[in-house]
Amino acid sequence: MAAIQTVFPPYTYPQREILATLARTTALESEAGALVLRKIAQSSGVDTRSLSLPLEKLVDLARQENFTEQNRMWLDVALDLGERAITGALRAAGIRPQDVDAVISTTVTGLAVPSLEARLAHRVGLRPDVKRVPLFGSGCAGGAVGLARLHDYLLAHPGQVAVLLAVELSSLVFQFKDATIANIVAGSLFGDGAAAVVATGAHRDDASAGPALVDTHSLLLPGTEDVLGWDIGSHGLRVLLAPEVPVLTEKHLPTAVQGLLDRHALTPDRIVSWIVHGGGPKVFTAVEQALDLPPRALELTRRSVAERGNLSSVSVLDILHAAMKTPPPPDAPGLVAAMGPGFAIELVLLSW
* Residues 190-207 as b or e (16 or more Cβ within 10 Å = b): bbbbbbbbbbbbeebeee
Q: Are strands 344-351 and 11-14 parallel, antiparallel or unpaired?
A: unpaired
Angle at 26 (CA atoms; ends 14, 79), nearest 5 degrees: 60
Distances (CA, A) of 91 to 60, 126, 184, 198, 209: 37, 13, 39, 10, 16
Distances (CA, A) of 272 to 120, 136, 296, 320, 328: 36, 31, 11, 13, 7
Distances (CA, A) of 123 to 33, 243, 259, 329: 44, 42, 41, 38
Furthest CA-CA distance within the chain: 62
Cα 144 to Cα 217: distance, rounded to the nearest angstrom? 10
Q: In the Cβ-directed half-sphere of 113, how many Cα atoms lie within 13 Å?
A: 1
Q: Write down the catalytic residue from 140, 253, 320, 322.
A: 140
- Note if 140 is an active site residue: yes
Cα 163 to Cα 106: distance, rounded to the nearest angstrom? 11
- Please answer whether residues 190 and 139 qualify as being in contact, where contact means their C-beta atoms are separated by less than 8 angstroms: no
Name the residue type at position 122.
H
Cα 75 to Cα 109: distance, rounded to the nearest angstrom? 10
- Please answer whether residues 271 and 253 qualify as being in contact, where contact means their C-beta atoms are separated by less than 8 angstroms: no
- Please answer whether residues 236 and 70 qualify as being in contact, where contact means their C-beta atoms are separated by less than 8 angstroms: yes
Catalytic residues: 140
